[in-house]
A and B are shown apart, each in its own frame.
Chain A
Amino acid sequence: MLLMPAFVMGQNPVSNNKKKEMIERITRVSESLKTLQCDFVQTKQLSMLNDKIVSRGKMYYKQNNALRWQYTSPYTYTFIINGGKVLMQSSSKKHVVDVKSSRMFSEISMIMMNSVTGKCLNSTKDFQVRMFDNGNEWIAEMTPLKKQMKQMFRTIRLHFNVAKSIVNKVEMIEKRGDATIIVMNNVKSNKPVNENLFDIN
């Protein structure tokens, strides 16, 4: 099982030089990202039940710490990070949390934001990163180093569109092997995004 990630991709990680080059390119692109928006399909595989649950939604990102992650079906749930605050809104209630009040909130917010853009590849304290080149896509395989993340995930894989150097798929593999796969569709970068979408109040 431990060998599975490399086996699935059927290849070895790229050399250190190539890895550095890939991460530099992704970082350059992420730094130039003023906005990003897309639709997403999230599929959670449940091995115990031999079933899956598929959720759909929209994501909006704006440079300088603003992210809206919104599930539209089969349930409605919105998660907004804006500056130092996080809003979580379900169909029944709305919570606003100050990120500074919880280290975990702060870390989750940063990881979500940085995963969307790919900036997390530089978080050497948070993840050990291996890069793979599949021709059409680059894959960053990130193994959590911090205890809290390790408790949740065995591996997180970010798939990048090579031409755009932007994330188009995220795989989060849990300790027992169940996976959550998020596929981004209709990705638009640096297009105007309504500021109200990041409104927390």
Chain B
Amino acid sequence: MKNISRSSVSGIFLIEMLFSILIFAIIATICAKIFVGSYFIAADSAKLNSAVVLAENYAECFKAQEGSLAGVSDILGGKYTMNALENGYNEKWLPVTDAQQAKYLLELTITTEYPDCLCGNVAIKDNNDQLVYQLKVTTLEGDHE
């Protein structure tokens, strides 16, 4: 009788243990998915925040330099042509000279849609050519104090 009771208790304990492990495994899987999803959402938010700050920097430099890409390049770096400036950034949003290492590409293009004004379009794309953030800025040409 004692032996039957002992094996019965061990069996129940084993079933309880297995059941607990099963439930825990299911919940842990769901929670792991939630943690991973949260990580990616937070990474996207951090990327957007960094892109906004960078675009603002370029926009303000563009305004301060009255549309001079050479002036913007002197302050923030980047290669420029007649009406476009490009600069690459790595995953930590630090400027890189080698385009192969760049994870993000910033483009500042100038258009002259209105007289006496220079319109700049700051676009930040990732290396999959997906637009992260875009900002349009306009500055004045001419004499003002």
Real complex partners, A and B? no
Which A residues are closer than 8 A to B by beta carbons?
A: none
